[in-house]
Chain A
């Protein structure tokens, strides 16, 4: 019965499933994009390297570092919104609530 219903109704149900699945996927991709700080940290390391190699001067470094920090904070905000862990900020040993 279930299968038959699906087949019979498939022209109707099909596209709904498809679009829901697609939206979930888009949502996931967007979320990963918004909450991933790996490329930002790589940019920071590259910037550091450029300074060390004397390819950029201090002023340039400071300017670009500020931009990278802005991006890091943005990712941190998104991670908080999605309830994900963030590097930094107050921590305690998991499961022990001695402060309370």
Chain B
């Protein structure tokens, strides 16, 4: 059994044809994007209302698990659409029962979609995750911080007699210095990217090595300067930090339309 049919089997009403919605764009004609949709290459096309269009593909009425395969399919469609259009991304897994329900969405949210599309015109998003190598940062701190270096030397010299208290003290100092260093790096990086981005947003860090998990909204015309700036910063911090730089993405982190959606039974 394939993953897809397993999902279908697990869901009761898997028979009827629904519409999986990837994003909303401004376009007043129907348009095809090829067979790249979620669920082994479904045909991706538009459902239109006036000058707005929802980019959709046909789907059984199922709940899509956020597996890597499914999430990549969703993202790939948005990336493809993005090459030509400014888009408002929909949440992963948004399924409507019928074309008519999608049109109702476009009709009832017309103004909000239009406003956001205006605001996001020619804007793209980049993701920047920064991780540090703990040992290297500690080594750097020991080089810079006299008090920590002295305390550490002392403990090493008198290994046998050095007290529990001295070790605790060192631990506390190092923790505090690391926190300070992390804040300093993050502030500096934000500062350097300010001129080449429109807005930024910091998300919760993932795992204990990450010190920054941010999204930057960038004007398409600033794509290259932004890119170069990130490269320059990663060189500057080469010895201490690992940069995970992704994009361009649709403005996932900067569009916040609360759609009034309910479960369709």
A interface residue numbers (CB < 8 A to B): 42, 44-46, 48-50, 52-53, 61, 65, 69, 72-73, 76, 85-96, 98-99
- State the CA gap A38–B67 with chains docked (Å): 16
- Asked whether A92 lies within 8 Å of B66 as measured between CB atoms, the reply is no
Q: A44: nearest residue on chain B (CB-CB)?
A: B66
- Asked whether A53 lies within 8 Å of B131 as measured between CB atoms, the reply is yes
Q: A65-B67, A72-B66, A76-B63 are in contact. Are A92 and B207 (CB under 8 A)?
A: no
Q: A52: nearest residue on chain B (CB-CB)?
A: B244
Q: For A93, what are the chain B residues with a Cβ–Cβ distance below 8 Å? A: 101, 104-105, 108-109, 259-262
Q: Would you call B97 an interface residue if the criterion is a C-beta within 8 Å of the partner chain's C-beta atoms?
A: yes
Q: A65-B68, A99-B97 are in contact. Are A85 and B91 (CB under 8 A)?
A: no
- State the CA gap A86–B261 with chains docked (Å): 11
- State the CA gap A20–B114 with chains docked (Å): 52
Q: A85: nearest residue on chain B (CB-CB)?
A: B263
What class of interface size applies to chain B in its complex with A?
35 or more
Q: A70: nearest residue on chain B (CB-CB)?
A: B65
Shortest Cβ gap from B207 to chain A (Å): 5
B interface residue numbers (CB < 8 A to A): 10-11, 13, 18, 61-68, 91-98, 100-101, 104-105, 108-109, 129, 131, 206-207, 210, 242, 244, 259-264
Given A50, A61, A88, A96, which contacts B63 in the complex, CB threshold below 8 Å? Answer: A88
Shortest Cβ gap from A64 to chain B (Å): 11
- State the CA gap A99–B262 with chains docked (Å): 13
Can you list 24 A-B pairs, Cβ within 8 angstroms, ordered by A?
A45-B206, A49-B206, A50-B207, A53-B242, A69-B65, A72-B66, A73-B10, A76-B63, A86-B63, A88-B63, A88-B64, A88-B94, A90-B13, A90-B95, A92-B97, A92-B101, A92-B105, A93-B105, A93-B109, A93-B260, A93-B262, A94-B261, A95-B260, A99-B100
- State the CA gap A88–B96 with chains docked (Å): 10
Given B10, B93, B131, B207, which contacts A87 in the complex, CB threshold below 8 Å? Answer: B93
Given B64, B101, B207, which contacts A49 in the complex, CB threshold below 8 Å? Answer: B207
Q: B105: nearest residue on chain A (CB-CB)?
A: A93
What are the 8 tightest A-B residue pairs by CB atom distance, in nearest-first order? A88-B93, A94-B260, A91-B261, A88-B63, A90-B264, A92-B264, A94-B262, A89-B63
- Asked whether A92 lies within 8 Å of B262 as measured between CB atoms, the reply is yes
Shortest Cβ gap from A75 to chain B (Å): 12
Q: For A45, what are the chain B residues with a Cβ–Cβ distance below 8 Å? A: 206
- State the CA gap A65–B67 with chains docked (Å): 7
Shortest Cβ gap from B71 to chain A (Å): 9
Q: For A72, what are the chain B residues with a Cβ–Cβ distance below 8 Å? A: 65-66
Q: For B62, what are the chain A residues with a Cβ–Cβ distance below 8 Å? A: 89
Q: A72-B66, A73-B10 are in contact. Are A91 and B263 (CB under 8 A)?
A: yes
Q: A90-B95, A90-B96, A91-B264 are in contact. Are A99 and B66 (CB under 8 A)?
A: no
Q: For B61, what are the chain A residues with a Cβ–Cβ distance below 8 Å? A: 89-90
Q: For A95, what are the chain B residues with a Cβ–Cβ distance below 8 Å? A: 260, 262
- Asked whether B96 lies within 8 Å of A92 as measured between CB atoms, the reply is yes
Given B91, B210, B259, B263, which contacts A90 in the complex, CB threshold below 8 Å? Answer: B263
Known: A69-B66, A87-B91. 14 other contacts (CB 8 A): A46-B207, A48-B68, A49-B129, A50-B207, A53-B131, A69-B65, A69-B67, A88-B64, A88-B93, A90-B61, A90-B95, A92-B96, A98-B101, A99-B264
